[in-house]
Amino acid sequence: MQYSKVILTGAAGFIGSHLAKRLLETGAEVVGLDNINDYYDVNLKYHRLSELEKYEGFTFIRCDISQKDELNRIFEEHRADVVVNLAAQAGVRYSIENPQVYIDSNVIGFFNILEACRNYPVKHLVYASSSSVYGNSDKIPFSVDDRVDNPISLYAATKKSNELMAYTYSHLFGIPATGLRFFTVYGPAGRPDMAYFSFTKKILAGEPIKLFNYGELERDFTYVDDIIEGIMRIIPTVPEEQNGARAKVYNIGNNKPVALKEFVAALEYAIGVKAKIEYLPMQPGDVYRTYADISELEKDFGFKPQTDIRTGLRRFAEWYKGYYK
């Protein structure tokens, strides 16, 4: 299956904009949807869109996936082969402060996407899940075969619900669906709410940065280009039927957890400035470690992320200094 016409939600987002660019470069037609919410600086979202609007095959529609009628109208007008759903309310900590937006976007919105795929059939639905579904599992690395019944944030619970809903719709209505559990994605034009982004801003301003659990957290930081390469390989490959459903879930992570203290050292090196650090105890909703078992991804697609943390952070720092001058 080739990439001919793709409906991509979350197109103004971090991963979405990178994926849209890559799809457009292959000659695909991309219909990008995004509600441009103000969870973080909308100027960055418009900047990403301005890069995509240089491509002839790109159409942008401002749309909130929680608005069912509008979504159905778009699906009816733009009959796509593939849907990639990356629209979601992200962030673990924000889900404690503002739970309603997670239900609206991640549960109702995803239900609307499934219904649209049912009413206007597509060859493949690819959607974002998250490594957060693993919670504080003691078993490492995290495998897609692990039970994930103990989410410790509402964000994680919504992502687990997406996997269950996708499986059900695949079983009942034959929608081929692949879920992707992303592990701490970073890189140029990233999300300002993520630690590496706010760390950079504060280090350059001479302000202290906060390291929770006294810097003893570990994350499987995954460079955005590696994530995009994984998605590009997955899109054309529909899951084989098992137990009456064509549904599968993959981890996409670097498979090499890095301690937060090491990560900060690599960031200091990339931007050429020493950080002032404030060490603090653990926060509610946080997990101690993320670590992706990517054996299924390697087996099915022969793919493994390659970008090391120093290379990835150097590229991010170059973009950051250019963008913020």
3-state SS class at 144: coil
Residue 155 designated active-site: yes
The set of residues, in sequence order, having a beta carbon less than 8 Å from that of 9 and lying 6+ positions away, is 16, 32, 33, 34, 65, 83, 84, 85, 86, 87, 113
C-alpha distance from residue 254 to each of 90, 222, 251, 294, 310 (Å): 20, 5, 10, 8, 13
Q: Could you give the CA distance from residue 7 to residue 9 in angstroms, rounded to a whole number?
A: 7
Q: Could you give the CA distance from residue 178 to residue 17 in angstroms, rounded to a whole number?
A: 20
The one catalytic residue in 155, 250, 291, 320 is 155
Is the Cβ–Cβ distance between 309 and 263 less than 8 Å?
A: yes
Of the candidates 15, 125, 158, 7, the residue with the CA atom closest to the CA atom of residue 70: 7
Residues acting as catalytic residues? 155
